[in-house]
């Protein structure tokens, strides 16, 4: 079983740093390439460029919670939740077809 995960393409977990403007300040965010791909997909589904999506997300979280301890970690969790939602949608389509 571990071979499935151990054989993951190294390009997917290569660290990638992007500069974005959040709350009026230019900052750098470093995430694995796979997470950037997922964030690009999520942003596109919201009809926004990724940088604008990140800025909007940051502002909304600050409004709800007052602060963000680790924005990069939040982004990884959001990507995981997005993947879970996609899997559930596929499961629901599959079970309704059966």
Tens of pLDDT along 32-76?
Answer: 999 999 999 999 999 999 999 999 999 999 999 998 989 999 999
Q: What is the mean pLDDT of the chain?
A: 93
3-state secondary structure labels for all residues of 3-60: HHHHCCCHHHHCEEEEEEEECCEEEEEEEEHHHHHHHHHHHHHCCCCHHHHHHHHHHH
Q: What domains, with CATH codes, occur in the chain?
A: 2-97 (1.10.3990.20)
Q: What is the pTM of this model?
A: 0.87
71's CB contacts (< 8 A; 6+ apart) are 22, 29, 58
Which residue bears the tokens 């959001």? 78
Mean pLDDT score, 2-25: 93
């Amino acid at each position: 079983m571990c071979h499935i995960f151990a054989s993951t393409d190294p390009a997917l977990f290569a660290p990638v740093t992007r500069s974005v403007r959040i709350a009026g300040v230019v900052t750098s965010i470093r995430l694995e390439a796979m997470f950037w791909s997922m964030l690009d997909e999520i942003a596109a589904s919201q009809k926004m460029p990724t940088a604008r999506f990140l800025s909007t997300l940051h502002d909304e979280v600050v409004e709800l919670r007052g602060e963000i301890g680790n924005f990069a970690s939040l982004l990884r969790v959001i990507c995981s939740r997005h993947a879970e939602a996609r899997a559930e949608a596929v499961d629901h389509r599959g079970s309704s077809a059966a």
